[in-house]
Amino acid sequence: MTTTSSNIDERPDFEICLEPGKSERHYWADLWRYRELFYILAWRDISVRYKQTVVGIGWAVIQPLLSMLVMTVIFGQVAGLPSEGGAPYAVMVLSAMLPWQFFATSLTTSSASLVGNAQLISKVYFPRLIIPASAVITSLVDFLISFVILLGTMVWFQFVPSWRILTLPLFILLAFVAAIGPGLFITALNVKYRDFRYVVPFLVQFGLYVSPVGFSSAVIRDKFGETAFMLYSLNPMVGVIDGFRWAIIGETTPFHWPSVAISLATALLSLFIGISYFRRVERGFADII
Partner 1 sequence: MSRPIISFEDLGKRYQLRHQASGQSYVALRDVIAGLPSRIASKLKGGLRGQSGTSTEEFWALRHINLDVQPGEVVGIIGRNGAGKSTLLKVLSRITDPTEGKVTIRGRVASLLEVGTGFHPELTGRENIFLNGAILGMSRNEIRRKFDEIVAFAEVEQFLDTPVKRYSSGMYVRLAFAVAAHLEPEILVVDEVLAVGDAAFQKKCLGKMQNVAGAGRTVLFVSHNMTAINALCKRGVVIDQGQVVFSGSADEATKQYSEHHQICQFGEYRPSAQKAAQRAGKAHIVLARVTSPSQEGTGYFPCGSDLVFTIHCSVPVGSSVCLGLGINSRMGERVVTAHSSTQQTSTKSTSGELRFECRLSQVSLVPGTYMVKVALDCLNTGYEDDAIDDAFSFEIVNSALSRQTKHSHKGVAIYEQTWGIDN
Burial 136-161 (b: 16+ CB within 10 A, else e): bbbbbebbeebbebbeebbeeeebeb
103 binds partner 1 per the rule CB under 8 A: no
Specify the amino acid at residue 180.
I
Tell me if 244 sits within 8 A of 166, measured CB to CB: no
8 Å CB contact between 211 and 133: no
Q: Which of 53, 194, 226, 255 binds partner 1 (CB under 8 A)?
A: 194
Told to check if 21 binds partner 1 by CB under 8 A, we report yes
Which residue, 48 or 79, is less far from partner 1 as judged by CB? 48
Of 56-64, 186-194, 212-220, 257-265: span binding partner 1 (CB under 8 A) = 186-194
- Site size for partner 1 (CB under 8 A): 40
Whether residue 4 contacts residue 97, with contact meaning beta carbons closer than 8 Å, is answered with: no
Residue 284 as a binder of partner 1 (CB under 8 A): the answer is yes
Q: How far apart are CA 46 and CA 137, in angstroms?
A: 8
Beta carbon nearer to partner 1, 164 or 283: 283
Residues 115-144 that bind partner 1 (CB under 8 A): 119-126
CA-CA distance, 73 to 156, in Å (whole number)? Answer: 17
41-80 mask for partner 1 (x: CB under 8 A)? x--x--xx--xx----------------------------
* Number of residues in the chain: 289
29 sits near partner 1 (criterion: CB under 8 A): no
Q: How far apart are CA 106 and CA 76, in angstroms?
A: 28
Cβ–Cβ < 8 Å for 258, 230: yes
Report if residue 36 touches partner 1, rule: CB under 8 A.
Answer: yes
Would you count residue 160 as binding partner 1 (CB under 8 A)? no
17 or 160: whose CB is closer to partner 1? 17
Q: What is the closest distance, in whole angstroms, from the C-beta atom of residue 283 to partner 1 in the complex? A: 4
Cα–Cα distance for residue pair 239/148, rounded to 1 Å:
23
**Site residues, partner 1 (CB under 8 A):** 1-2, 5-6, 9, 14-21, 36-37, 40-41, 44, 47-48, 51-52, 119-126, 192-196, 283-284, 286-288
